Amino acid sequence: MELNEKIRSMNDELENRVLERTKKIQEANNELEKFCYTVAHELKAPLRAISLYNDIIKEENEEDLTKESEYAVDNITMYCGKSLKLIGDILEYSKMKSQKLKLVRVNMNKLVEADIDEIKILNPERDIRVNMPRLPVVMADEFLLMCAVHNIMSNSVKYSAKKQYTEIIIDYEETAEKYIFQFTDNGAGFDMEGAVNIFELFNRMHPDTEYEGSGVGLATVKNIIEKHGGRISIKSAVDNGCTVMFSLLK
């Protein structure tokens, strides 16, 4: 009996230590996220100021600028724009990660159709073709799910820019516990051997010189799907498109 009591006491003590350390790690992660959010937010104002003063310099000295100076000024404008976009994506990611779910019944057909309309407005020069069946109604946070779908479909448009048209095929499977959605496109694709960390923040499969991006989109999608208790995966091949699959619990 004494031995059993001692073992039980040791187990309780070990469990308490694990819980305490887990709590400390969570608190440290929360502090780090707050710090990153604050830094990103504070960087926006000086970058906007740099961009503004740079535009003034170009406007007031346009006739006097050498080709080298004009090139430098244009590069400042470009990199300020990219940095502001990256900061915006980081802030959005941080916001999504901390946002609590507001579960409602979401008609996936209406949600996807609304996003298709938005993407076509944002990309008027692209021939965007979307095929999908009648999709189910799911329990989800409508705003967050819209953000996830928008990120996936925007990637499809971006990475198929060198193709004659963008094709997105949407489908789903149903099991007793969940729905599994698939978004397949005809984009550039990538080698799966280098895709181990594809859902991590800032991870990209294509250089910025080929396709612009921040490496935040898929990390945001993963965060949203996992918030809903689902899973996400991806498969692709070079020059053979990409398929993003995610599940949502019923």
Domain ranges of the chain: 2-98, 103-249
> Can you name the CATH fold of 103-249?
Heat Shock Protein 90 (3.30.565)
Q: Would the pLDDT of 216 be above 70? A: yes
- Rounded mean pLDDT of 129-142? 96
Going by C-alpha positions, the residue among 150, 140, 232 that lies closest to residue 195 is 232
CATH of range 2-98; options 3.40.50, 1.10.287, 2.30.30, 3.30.720? 1.10.287
- Looking at 63-67, 90-94, 121-125, 239-243, which range is the least confident one? 90-94
* Alpha helices (H) along the chain: 2-60, 67-98, 108-122, 142-159, 217-227
Q: Do domains 2-98 and 103-249 have the same CATH topology?
A: no
> Which of the four pLDDT bands, split at 50, 70 and 90, describes residue 96?
confident
* The two three-digit tokens of residue 37, written as one number: 């959010």
The yes-or-no verdict on residue 1 having pLDDT over 60 is no
